Structure 1
Amino acid sequence: MAQEIERKFLVAGEYKSQAFAQSRIKQGYICSAHGRTVRVRIRDNQGFLTIKGASDASGISRYEWEKEISLPEAEELMKLCEPGMIDKTRYLVRSGAHIFEVDEFYGENEGLVVAEVELGTIEESYVKPIFLGEEVTGDSRYYNSHLMKKPYKNWELNK
């Protein structure tokens, strides 16, 4: 089984000038049940189908399977998705031996910016970029599948 091991943080500083690449991502969920999701993603002109399992108790690790599909297939599958789409730009920023993915959200999640780093093991160390804020690993409110159902703009803490 493929395990995804990642840590997630709010972004509290400037990151765009440090990015070496960026892409626009739109994604929807065919299934967003607790403990498993089936996601359709269009990143620039590529399509992807991803299945994720439940996170472990720490929220750091979970099963992930992803397959590239054609853009027409992804566009067709988007029509089957549950209501609510995720729209974001992803910036890639190097920090030490790792690459942080910084997601700037639009639409219903405007104002939210999070950064993730994928690790080889739960204990693996990494260099924290200066723009990282509070760690939110394991906080399900920040899962994209949750943001689709309960957008950031509706959270009480933003009022």
Structure 2
Amino acid sequence: MIEIERKFLVKSMNFVDGAVSKTKIVQGFLNTHPERTVRIRINGEKGFMTVKGKSNDSGTTRFEWETEIGLKDAEKLLQLCEKGIIDKTRYMVPFHDHSFEVDVFEGENEGLILAEIELSNENEMFQKPNWLGEEVTGDIKYYNSQLSKQPYTTW
């Protein structure tokens, strides 16, 4: 239940050629307190509730608990979420021994493309594809909970 990930800006759409799947995601936050967030997500045709703790100092590691919930329940809970729903399309892109989740944001965050890679430890080495840009791990403005409050198009 510990999540270790790094986050990067994406500098080109070249990742699409290597994608093995593409899923529409809609999510909102019931709570965006700095110590924890509670997220409701519809990922394709499935609903999920996720609780995330505060990140460590580097921004790479934090507690994460997730459970699947019914799609109808997720749709109802989204109506109770704080202002600022996140719309994005997620591409799963395998690259060497890892997979990148690449999110192409829509709506108020249109123009933003982020890639995340989950790791087994903070110092794990991985190869970077040529479409990967600047690392933004730990930069809170790129957290989905913050993008719901301060969308990319308002920066």
TM-score > 0.5, shorter chain as reference: yes
Gaps of 5+ in 2: none
Shift of 1:82: 0.3
Separation of aligned partners in 2, 1:87 and 1:18: 22
What is the total number of aligned residue pairs between the two structures?
Answer: 154
Which aligned pairs between 1:49-88 and structure 2 lie closer than 5 A? 49-88=49-88
Deviations 1:84-129 (A, max 9, x none): 1000000010111110000000000000000000001111111111
SS, match of residue 72 in structure 2? helix
Separation of aligned partners in 2, 1:73 and 1:127: 39
Gaps of 5+ in 1: none
Alignment RMSD:
0.6
SS, match of residue 33 in structure 1? coil
Q: Which residue of 2 aligns with 1:8?
A: 7
Q: Which residue of 1 aligns with 2:152?
A: 152
SS, match of residue 87 in structure 2? strand
Counterpart code for 1:107:
G
Deviations 1:55-83 (A, max 9, x none): 00000000000001110110111111001
Counterpart code for 2:123:
E
Which aligned pairs between 1:10-159 and structure 2 lie closer than 5 A? 10-13=9-12, 14-155=14-155
Q: TM-score, normalised by structure 1?
A: 0.95
Q: TM-score, normalised by structure 2?
A: 0.98
Separation of aligned partners in 2, 1:117 and 1:105: 17
In the TM superposition, structure 1's runs of 4+ consecutive aligned residues that sit over 3 Å from their partners are none
Shift of 1:35: 2.0
Separation of aligned partners in 1, 2:9 and 2:123: 21
